[in-house]
Amino acid sequence: MAKKYPETKILSRNFGVENSWTLDVARERGAYKSLEKALEEMTPDQLIEEVKTSRVRGRGGAGFPTGVKWGFVPKENDKPKYLVLNADESEPGTFKDRYLMELDPHLVLEGCLLCAYACGLSTIYIYVRGEYPLSIERLEGAIEEARKAGFIGKKVLGKKGFDVECYVHPGAGAYICGEETGMLESLEGKRGHPRIKPPFPAVEGAFGCPTVINNVETLAHVPWIVEHGGQAFADQGIQPDPDNPKALGSSGTKLMGVSGPVKNPGVWEFEFGITVKELIYDYAGGPLDGREVKAVIPGGLSMPVLTADELDVKMGFDDLVKVGSGLGTGTAIVMDDSCDMVEACENIAHFFADESCGQCTPCREGCHWMEKIFARIKGGEGTPADLDLLERLFINIEGRTICALADAAVWPLRSIIRKFRHEFLAKMPGTDAADGEDPKAAEAETVGAK
Amino acid sequence: MADKVSTIFINGTEYPFKEGQTVIQVCHENGIDVPHYCYHPGLSIAGNCRICMVEVEGNPQPQISCKMQCAPPPWVSEPLKIQTESEVAEEGRSGVMEMLLVNHPLDCPICDQAGECHLQDYSYEHGGGKASTSTAKTKLPKNVPFGEKIVYDAERCIKCTLCVRFCQEVTETNELDLGGRGDEEIVIMTSKGEFETPYAMNIIDICPVGALTSKDFRFKSRLWFMDFAPSIDTSSAKGVNITTGGREGEFLRIEPRYNPGVNQWWMSDEGRLGYKFVNSPTRVKAPLVRGENGELAEALWHNAIDAAGTALRASPGDVLVDGGCTLEEMALAQELASAMGAKAKFAAATGEGDDWLITEEKGANAKGGEMLGLARAKRASAAAVLMIERDEHVNASMREKAGAVVVFALDMEQVPDSAQVVFPMPSWAEREGLLVNIDGLVQAMERNQGIGPGNLTPPVELLEELIGEFDDAYEWRGREGVIESIRAMKAFEGVPFPGDTATAEVGA
Amino acid sequence: MTSTNGAPVSPPEAVEFPPKEIKKECDEIVARYPTRMAACLPVLHVAQRHFGGWVSPEVEAGVAEYLGVSDSHIRGLLTFYAMYNDKPAGRHEVWVCRTLTCWLLGAEKLRETALAKSGCEKPGMTSPDGKFLVKNMECLGLCEAAPAVFVDGKPHVNVSNEQLEKLMDACE
């Protein structure tokens, strides 16, 4: 047997340490050293350059290069500038940021403060989902401690001109507020209806002012980058593909998780390079006894599924795109052979119908419609034409809305009905599949997907 | 760096655009139809309905034209190429149409919006024509009162948020918001349950579907049975452009008509509902002459004119006209007065106003009267002729104390005891003529054939007849001739009239 | 205000907000933001906690006045965000996660257990005795320890039907 892919302890170095969330323990273990270093040795521009060099990509799901995002913040602008830390983590199957906030809130704060210093931001709002009471408590406690210790407030660590405030803003139960502009609306005290871009938040974000929005895990990487240099971060993980300008690589480490019917669900940190299969079998313990893995959504709920045959792919931004899926949040959901894929689709469609903000027609009406079609198929009242109807709805929903929630609904559902078509046909009276014949043959007979 | 791109190709034709313009704006300016629900030129861009999708060359996905800038991104030096009728665009729109109708009740047979419903129209043009779903529709609140004047139906609502944005951006009174989430999203109102703004009913007009209907107009008539005519709101002096709607004599509704320089797309509720007196059961419908028995009795038009001439010759005096009388009527009233050796005056009420479309001046043509040189009657005084349309202008005291022998009255209730001859006064919706608004803009109103008793001789003609009773040499000029003589007056020198140029726009 | 049948209904009388017990907390929240409206979400959390687990029309009106927004804006938030209750809540609130991971690991049974145990007719409703409000929630972010429930704001993970029954039994 090949050697097990090694775990790394950078972001997770304080996980499991007693009272790791307190300032005393955190400082003993090096917290705020990078902030001190940056304030003493680096200009804000140098810090942005370092983050650019690291090629760190957003860990919230979209994978946008963080340094580039920071560079968008206009320098010549009298308005106050904000950091909104995306700690909404509403993506189903995702729980990695919770570990960071509960177990190492000072690392999160240090990342925020470094970002504020680099981009000239004066206020940090940490938008934590309301369903994370312990994260809220630990962050608020950490902010209080950090304020007393001079890391937050006027003249941070005595640095003239670097004044920064930090507050926790609790969400109240809405998936859409994890979308960055929906989050801004919610922060402003409104319903979380995503905004049309442009203008982009870096120019016109919270309260009409320039705003940086980053994921918790993304910023938690920054202290290490400051300490060891951007190049050291970039040297880790999967390098960019020189032949493909879109493949920016997956540098550094990532918190990866697995949930669902596996022996040992959880979250671990790896240098990019581990495969989905290694993650699920070597770390999550594989399927429960007597079961087999049937399908895996590699990153949250919003990505296309991989079948059991497709798991030999690296958990990386570009690698998963290459096989028609995506890294998303890097936390996989496993479905085993006891899972009825039609019912799973109904469950997934229900989620998106429930969480659609209601703004754009295709998403508001379409998600619920899809759910009803899956319910109909589940109830034995579907026909093969329903699968064609679904394919048509996917076209009319994907890419036709203000934000990506609708796309996120389409991707897992479309991949499931394409990859597990026979399960759908088997529930349709009169089809060969329903009569117990070879599912592949039945598939060939029916009108194929576009 | 290359020159800034300043043109855009739409369906193969190159059009110039102004900085900041969106694709839908340039399309509409050039008569290219792009359907839209949530887009309104007077409100912010919401981009939520998705029906205005067009194809942008190089992009496989159709894009919404309401938000899309005509200017390409800075790194592109070629003009954008847009297709509004291509397969990509059409397929995008029909997909949206289908979604919009999934939960729509399709109750067109009982919906007031039928006939002017964008959902109906676009469904016809861009829809698939058949339903792909047999699933149950979402149930939402119906028949919800939004104040005293408006009814909301959440099932018909397509959540375009035009009404919400109107109350936020135009009136800034914030009575409406969205409630619920996803396909249970609905429009909700503040718990006060009444609008603060006196302009609330505009949300009925801008509602592209039948979700917001007027309590006043609900279930009264199908649109295709009605007559419509462009006119002017005469409830105040702003000269708000309107369209009157009536059917078989009954005045049924008023809607604002776009005029960028006056009222844009809007009007006040007061103006919109200010037509009720026109439908009075006691309208004067024929000329009346007081007989020997002292009672007013119907008479033939020429007999009434003779009787009026006789009465006026016996007791000539001032002519007092309603401040809502047209420029032509006021000019002729002036000529009649001078033929009698007397003066013409106008009376107009004043009241509360705002800084927008409701003026303190209530006489719709008070400004015209002043320009013609008519004095403003402040209190009751003697007059031989009265022209009365609205009660509030030539008010009860003026009517009683004038001692007028010839009275043009809209309603029998307005006729004073002194009247020897009564002519029916058609309402403004039944007359054509010019009004000068408070800002000096001359605007035209047209007659709506579907409103009023019909067969009423226009007051302009009657006034010319009466002048003829005093002046044998009087030459009939007709309305056009009267307008010419008004334009020759010094006060009207250089003043643009409707039809002259675009500056005296009658509306778009 | 008029009801759906047109009969006049008087608008709710706003409670005095914030009451003195939570005034300092609310004022501090408001001070964090450049606009008063931005304080809506955190202040509503405080208000709901203080006023028995739900935001009544009277509290809604009080919060609206306090933050300088219309009460319909507040109602728009209450009906958008899943954690707020705009109807009387039970003395205890049970959330059952229904999203994929929990569903794969038995969340449907947990929901049935919660409904049966509480006597609630369906999720989102309060039991007839006013003891429980059972809510179906989307992903609670406790997936590595699914299925998960919250009882009165406290997370419980790897919950079996028996454990949920015990948790609910422990509620007074």
* B138 interfaces chain A, CB cutoff of 8 Å: yes
* B100 interfaces chain A, CB cutoff of 8 Å: yes
Mean pLDDT of C36-43: 98
Q: State percent of chain A over pLDDT 90.
A: 92
B253 lies in some domain = no
Q: Which of residues 13-42 of C touch A (CB under 8 A)?
A: 32-42
Q: Which of A192, A344, A357 sits opposite C100 (nearest CB)?
A: A344
Mean pLDDT of A347-366: 96
Separation between Cα atoms, residue A364 and residue A160, nearest integer Å: 50
Segment B122-141, tens digit of pLDDT: 888 776 666 666 678 889 99
* B118 interfaces chain A, CB cutoff of 8 Å: no
* Residues on chain B touching C79 (C-beta within 8 angstroms): 179-181, 188
**Is there a single domain that holds both residue C78 and residue C138?**
no
Are B180 and C80 an interchain contact pair (Cβ–Cβ within 8 Å)?
A: yes
Separation between Cα atoms, residue C139 and residue C102, nearest integer Å: 8
Query: Number of folded domains in chain B?
Result: 3
Residue A192 near residue A183 (C-beta atoms within 8 A): yes
pLDDT of C6 over the 60 cut: no
**Is there a single domain that holds both residue B350 and residue B456?**
yes
**Is there a single domain that holds both residue C18 and residue C74?**
yes
**Is there a single domain that holds both residue B68 and residue B198?**
no
**Is there a single domain that holds both residue B46 and residue B164?**
no
* Residues on chain A touching C153 (C-beta within 8 angstroms): 133
Are B182 and A353 an interchain contact pair (Cβ–Cβ within 8 Å)?
A: yes
What does CATH list as the number for A254-336?
Answer: 3.10.20.600
Q: Tell which CATH architecture fits domain A341-445.
A: Up-down Bundle (1.20)
Q: Which pLDDT does position B132 carry in this prediction?
A: 65
**Is there a single domain that holds both residue C69 and residue C99?**
no
B311 lies in some domain = yes
Which CA distances in Å does C58 have to A210, C15, C84? 37, 5, 15
B37 lies in some domain = yes
**Is there a single domain that holds both residue C73 and residue C101?**
no
Q: Which of residues 395-424 of A touch B (CB under 8 A)?
A: 395-396, 399-402
Number of B/C CB contacts below 8 angstroms equals 53
Are C138 and A267 an interchain contact pair (Cβ–Cβ within 8 Å)?
A: no
Distance from CA of A371 to the nearest CA of B (A): 10
pLDDT of A387 over the 50 cut: yes
Q: Which residues pair with A128 in a beta bridge?
A: A87, A170
Q: Which pLDDT does position B123 carry in this prediction?
A: 82
Q: State percent of chain B over pLDDT 90.
A: 86
Nearest CA-CA partner of B140 in B127, B156, B125: B156
Nearest CA-CA partner of C139 in A354, B460, A256, A378: A354
Separation between Cα atoms, residue A380 and residue A10, nearest integer Å: 51
Are C4 and B191 an interchain contact pair (Cβ–Cβ within 8 Å)?
A: no
> DSSP string of B409-423?
ESBGGG--TT-SEEE
Q: Which of A365, A373, A400 sits opposite B183 (nearest CB)?
A: A365
Q: Which pLDDT does position B296 carry in this prediction?
A: 96
**Is there a single domain that holds both residue C110 and residue C136?**
yes
**Is there a single domain that holds both residue C151 and residue C70?**
no
> Can you point out the beta strands (E) in A206-323?
211-215, 237-238, 250-251, 253-259, 266-271, 293-297, 306-307
Go through B422-445 and write b for each residue having 16 or more CB atoms within 10 A of its CB, e for each that does not. bbbbbbbbbbbbbbbbbeebbbbb
Are A359 and B48 an interchain contact pair (Cβ–Cβ within 8 Å)?
A: yes
* Residues on chain C touching B181 (C-beta within 8 angstroms): 79-80
**Is there a single domain that holds both residue C24 and residue C45?**
yes
Q: Which pLDDT does position B499 carry in this prediction?
A: 87
Distance from CA of A142 to the nearest CA of B (A): 34
Separation between Cα atoms, residue A260 and residue A256, nearest integer Å: 14
Q: Which of C45, C84, C141 sits opposite A95 (nearest CB)?
A: C141
* Residues on chain A touching B182 (C-beta within 8 angstroms): 353-358, 364, 367-368
Segment A1-22, tens digit of pLDDT: 567 999 999 999 999 999 999 9
Mean pLDDT of A48-61: 96
Give percent helix, percent strand, percent coil of chain C, each to the nearest 5: 40, 15, 45
* A354 to chain C: closest CA residue: C138
* A359 interfaces chain B, CB cutoff of 8 Å: yes
Q: Is B96 exposed, middle or buried, given 0-12, 13-18 or 19+ CB atoms closer than 10 A? A: buried
Q: Which of A388, A398, A400 to mutate to test the interface with B (most CBs of B within 10 A)?
A: A400
Which of the residues in chain B have pLDDT under 70?
Answer: 1-3, 127-134, 501-508
Are B182 and A360 an interchain contact pair (Cβ–Cβ within 8 Å)?
A: no
Q: How confident is the prediction for chain B on average, in pLDDT?
A: 93
Backbone angles phi, psi at B250, to 5 degrees: -90, 130
**Is there a single domain that holds both residue B76 and residue B193?**
no
Q: Which pLDDT does position A449 carry in this prediction?
A: 38
Asked which of C68, C88, C108 is the last residue of a domain, the reply is: C88
* Residues on chain C touching A355 (C-beta within 8 angstroms): 138
Give the CATH number, domain containing residue B34.
3.10.20.740
Q: Which of B36, B44, B48 to mutate to test the interface with A (most CBs of A within 10 A)?
A: B48
**Is there a single domain that holds both residue C81 and residue C136?**
no
Segment A415-438, tens digit of pLDDT: 999 999 999 999 998 887 777 665
B442 lies in some domain = yes
B367 lies in some domain = yes
Helix (H, G, I), strand (E, B) or coil at B251: strand
**Is there a single domain that holds both residue C127 and residue C84?**
no
Q: Which of residues 278-297 of A touch C (CB under 8 A)?
A: 297
* Residues on chain B touching A376 (C-beta within 8 angstroms): 135
Nearest CA-CA partner of A299 in A264, A272, A263: A272
CATH classification of A23-228 is 3.40.50.150, yes or no?
no
Which one-letter amino acid corresponds to residue C48? Q
Range of the domain at C98: 92-169
Chains that touch C (3 or more CB pairs under 8 A): A, B
Chains that touch A (3 or more CB pairs under 8 A): B, C
**Is there a single domain that holds both residue C79 and residue C2?**
yes
Segment B420-474, tens digit of pLDDT: 999 999 999 999 999 999 999 999 999 999 999 988 999 999 999 999 999 888 9
* A376 to chain B: closest CA residue: B135
**Is there a single domain that holds both residue B80 and residue B153?**
no
Distance from CA of A350 to the nearest CA of C (A): 9
**Is there a single domain that holds both residue C62 and residue C122?**
no
Separation between Cα atoms, residue A359 and residue A318, nearest integer Å: 31
* C45 to chain A: closest CA residue: A172
Q: Which of residues 304-363 of A touch C (CB under 8 A)?
A: 331, 333, 335-336, 339, 344, 347-348, 350-351, 354-355, 357
Q: Which pLDDT does position B129 carry in this prediction?
A: 64
3-class secondary structure for A10-40?
Answer: CCCCCCCCCCCCCHHHHHHCCCCHHHHHHHH
Chain region(s) in chain A for CATH 1.20.1440.230: 341-445
pLDDT of A47 over the 50 cut: yes
Separation between Cα atoms, residue B170 and residue B205, nearest integer Å: 14
Confidence of residue A440 (pLDDT cuts 50, 70, 90): low
Residue B264 tokens read as 């844009």
Distance from CA of C54 to the nearest CA of A (A): 13
Chain region(s) in chain A for CATH 3.10.20.600: 254-336
Q: What is the ipTM of this complex?
A: 0.95
Range of the domain at B173: 110-117+137-219
B459 lies in some domain = yes
**Is there a single domain that holds both residue C151 and residue C124?**
yes
Q: Which pLDDT does position B505 carry in this prediction?
A: 45
Q: Which of residues 193-252 of B touch C (CB under 8 A)?
A: 193-194
Q: Which of residues 72-91 of C touch B (CB under 8 A)?
A: 72-73, 75-76, 79-80
Segment C63-118, tens digit of pLDDT: 999 999 999 999 999 999 999 999 999 999 999 999 999 999 999 999 999 999 99
B276 lies in some domain = no
Query: Number of folded domains in chain C?
Result: 2
Which CA distances in Å does A4 have to A260, A270, B415, B468? 22, 12, 104, 113
* B104 to chain A: closest CA residue: A365
* Residues on chain A touching C69 (C-beta within 8 angstroms): 189
* C1 interfaces chain B, CB cutoff of 8 Å: yes
Separation between Cα atoms, residue B407 and residue B424, nearest integer Å: 9
B270 lies in some domain = no
Asked which of C57, C88, C119 is the last residue of a domain, the reply is: C88
**Is there a single domain that holds both residue B440 and residue B296?**
yes
Chain region(s) in chain A for CATH 3.40.50.11540: 23-228
Give the CATH number, domain containing residue C46.
1.10.10.1590
